[in-house]
Amino acid sequence: MISIEKRSIIETDFSFPKQSNFYRGKVRDVYTIGEKLVMVASDRISAFDHVLPRPIPYKGQVLNQIAGHFLAATSDIVPNWVLAAPDPNVTVGHACEPFKIEMVIRGYLVGHAWREYKAGRRSICGEAVPEGMKEADRFPSPIITPATKAEEGHDEDISKADIIAQGIVSEAHYELLEKYTHALYQRGTAMAAERGLILVDTKYEFGLKDGNIYLIDEIHTPDSSRYFYKEGYEERQANGERQKQLSKEFVREWLMEHGFQGKEGQMMPEMPDVFVEQVSERYIELYESITGMTFEKADTSNVEERIEKNVLAYLNA
């Protein structure tokens, strides 16, 4: 059997015609060509703002194709950066100047918000949170809890007031980002409900091009979002049971069980093959659950050669 590493995209190092810049993010390799970005979704996986040592087969394809699905389905709300998807792992789009914040929106008290709440905090990013809530309870209405976009290390919570006061985003632009974030979450929630899922929380990133705001990066993927199964949600809450969810929270939980939360001095555990394959299956399950389509595994016998060939064909056309 071909090893996990050999059938995964760990990182790329292409040299495309007229390429002017290259940036490697936590999970994406981004090539600048003129006013376009060629974004390659690798199979790297991050948790607690650290890239884990082992790739997850097909994860990049899952992310790229889920994002494409939802970007197409929300283009009437806000323009987005996408021009084409010449390969299962690649999106080509407009190069925009990103706003240096992530617009995180939460409909339910889970994950980071629950950890803050459990520690006694009743205000998250300036948003008041009611007393007496349990983990996975629904908020009275969705709250936006922005985070600064860190080049390295941890993203940090920040309030709307501080974003505007520090000049990170102008008040006029922030009001629009807020409006778009609520509308996108509402659309994502409705689409998830059609598939028997609850869109628990998610994040959006935006950028500017020619004075216009564009939705950039990915949306409603398991890397940027958390989903619960709708069926049985109320019963599980009433009984104090854990919610069934589709997200990468289970990866974070596995890491925490093995003594890693991204804190200084902690050793990152090595994921065994069996667990890596389970993570891959969970990503594919989410793709099929959220889109209603069967996932078609791309040929990974020579994945980097495939990507380069497809991108070059697009650029030359």
CB of 245 within 8 A of CB of 228?
Answer: yes
Is it the case that residue 231 has pLDDT exceeding 60? yes
155 plus 59 within the same structural domain: no
Please give the structure tokens belonging to residue 240. Answer: 């104090």
Please give the structure tokens belonging to residue 156. Answer: 């940090």
30 in a domain, yes or no?
yes
What's the domain count of the chain?
2
C-alpha to C-alpha distances, 119 to 136, 148, 226, 237, 264, nearest whole angstrom: 16, 21, 21, 21, 20
Backbone angles phi, psi at 208, to 5 degrees: -115, 140
Q: DSSP label at 152?
A: S
188 plus 59 within the same structural domain: no
221 in a domain, yes or no?
yes
H or E element at residue 172: helix 171-194
* Structural domain harbouring 14: 5-97+274-316
Q: What is the pLDDT of residue 6?
A: 82
Write the CB contacts of 146 (distance below 8 Å, at least 6 apart in sequence): 101, 102, 103, 104, 125, 157, 158, 159, 160, 163
The predicted-structure confidence for 51-78, as pLDDT tens digits, reads as follows 999 999 999 999 999 999 999 999 999 9
Task: Please give the mean pLDDT across all residues of the chain.
Answer: 94
258 in a domain, yes or no?
no
User: Where is the domain boundary, 246, 262, 286?
Assistant: 246
Considering the entire predicted model, what is its pTM? 0.90
How far apart, in whole angstroms, are the C-alpha atoms of residue 215 and residue 218? 9
How far apart, in whole angstroms, are the C-alpha atoms of residue 39 and residue 90? 6
CATH number for position 123:
3.30.470.20
Closest residue by Cα to residue 206 from 104, 105, 106, 99: 99
- Region 108-128: mean pLDDT is 94
CB of 103 within 8 A of CB of 146?
Answer: yes
Closest residue by Cα to residue 168 from 98, 225, 215: 98
264 in a domain, yes or no?
no
27 plus 40 within the same structural domain: yes
CATH number for position 292:
3.30.200.20
The predicted-structure confidence for 120-166, as pLDDT tens digits, reads as follows 999 999 999 999 999 999 999 999 999 997 655 567 899 999 999 99
45 plus 66 within the same structural domain: yes
Largest CA distance in the chain: 59
Please give the structure tokens belonging to residue 301. Answer: 């016998």
The predicted-structure confidence for 201-226, as pLDDT tens digits, reads as follows 999 999 999 999 999 999 999 888 99
CA atoms within 13 A on the CB side of 162: 14
53 plus 186 within the same structural domain: no
The predicted-structure confidence for 5-64, as pLDDT tens digits, reads as follows 888 999 999 999 999 999 999 899 999 999 999 999 999 999 888 899 999 999 999 999
